[in-house]
């Protein structure tokens, strides 16, 4: 009986370790389509793009989402759109509940800075074009608002 209980506890620990993801790991999962949107969202929230504490604070999260939503709806589709929503929520959960150490924050910030540099170097002139899939804007905005909950 004790051996079985020990195995169950050990198995639960392994599963928990596999499900926990560091801040840099999560930031690196942000689809490239959303990279330019980070700047818009952070600016709307009055935060630096790499200031995760500021972006994820209760007072700024909704402003970040509002600022980034139209860009994400325009530039991210299908799996990328779903990934942005999932990862953004996970990032804020890690930032607000796990209190990541300064080296993890620095690493995540470096990833964002690098991605923003790459995005500005490869931005295309048609990235601001109007697309028919924006008709789903209300659904997308509702999904982004769900992150605030």
Q: Which residues are annotated as a binding site for heme?
A: 51
The two tokens of residue 24 are: 């840099």
Cβ atoms 35, 115 nearer than 8 A: yes
For residue 22, the SS3 value is coil
Q: How far apart are CA 113 and CA 18, in angstroms?
A: 27
**Tokens describing residue 92:** 């804020």
CA–CA gap between residue 30 and residue 84 (Å, rounded)? 6
- Rounded to 10°, the helix 137-147/78-93 angle is 20
Q: Are 105 and 41 in contact (CB under 8 A)?
A: no
Q: List, as residue ranges, the binding site.
A: 51
């Amino acid at each position: 009986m004790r051996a079985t209980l020990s195995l169950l506890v050990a198995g639960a620990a392994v599963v928990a370790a596999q499900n926990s993801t560091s801040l840099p790991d999560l930031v690196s999962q942000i689809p490239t389509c959303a990279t330019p949107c980070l700047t818009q969202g952070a600016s709307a929230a009055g935060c630096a793009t790499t200031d995760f504490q500021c972006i994820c604070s209760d007072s700024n999260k909704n402003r970040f989402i509002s600022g980034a939503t139209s860009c994400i709806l325009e530039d991210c589709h299908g799996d990328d759109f779903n990934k942005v929503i999932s990862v953004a929520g996970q990032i804020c959960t890690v930032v607000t509940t796990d209190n990541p150490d300064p080296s993890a924050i620095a690493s995540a910030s470096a990833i964002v800075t690098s991605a923003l540099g790459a995005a500005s170097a490869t931005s295309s002139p048609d990235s601001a074009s109007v697309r028919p899939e924006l008709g789903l804007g209300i659904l997308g905005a509702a999904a982004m608002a769900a992150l605030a909950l």
